[in-house]
Amino acid sequence: MSVSRYEFTKKLETGNAVIDKEHRELFQAVNKLLDACSAGKGRTSMDETIQFLNNYVDKHFAHEEQLQRQSGYPGITAHRTFHENYKRTLKEITSRISVSGPTIVELGNLNKHISVLVSHISTEDKKLGEFLNKQ
């Protein structure tokens, strides 16, 4: 099965070096999981990439929230709510993949959920980057 890969393009840059670096690594973690799914690499390798991705998302979101708290970012509540919901749904999808394997349905759900992140980056995280740059 062919699976799309995610590319971190210049138009996704927020202008904050730390956030951009983490977003790049996030895309790599997503691509690794998609590779593991499509290559049928076996459960251990897939579960490792799943765990890494969830941990990385947790860490990165916490980091963004910390930057928002420190800077007094006005959109923090809505942004944090998005992060909470996002993490929960990501864990739900990836745990189903872990249990039942990368079915077409779950890979579709995963890809949809990744596009939600891409649009969050290109709107909300960009707003945050602009705010942080004005500090």
Please say which residue, 41 or 87, places its beta carbon nearer to Fe ion.
87
Stretch that binds Fe ion, among 12-20, 35-43, 103-111, 125-133 (CB under 5 A): 125-133
Looking at beta carbons only, is 36 or 121 nearer to Fe ion?
A: 121
**Short-list 9, 26, 34, 4, CA closest to 122:** 9
Q: How far apart are CA 36 and CA 11, in angstroms?
A: 27
What is the per-residue DSSP string for 77-114? Answer: HHHHHHHHHHHHHHHHHHHHHHHH---HHHHHHHHHHH
Taking the complex as a whole, how short is the minimal distance between the CB of residue 4 and Fe ion, in angstroms? 22
Distance CA 78, CA 91 (A): 20
Contact pick of 6, 37, 125, 126 for Fe ion (by CB under 5 A): 125
In whole angstroms, what is the distance from residue 101 CA to residue 89 CA? 17
Smallest distance, Å, CB 55 to Fe ion?
Answer: 16
Residues in the interface with Fe ion (CB under 5 A) total 2
Of 50 and 67, nearer to Fe ion (C-beta) is 67
Positions 50 through 69 that interact with Fe ion (CB under 5 A): 64
Q: Which residues bind Fe ion (CB under 5 A)?
A: 64, 125
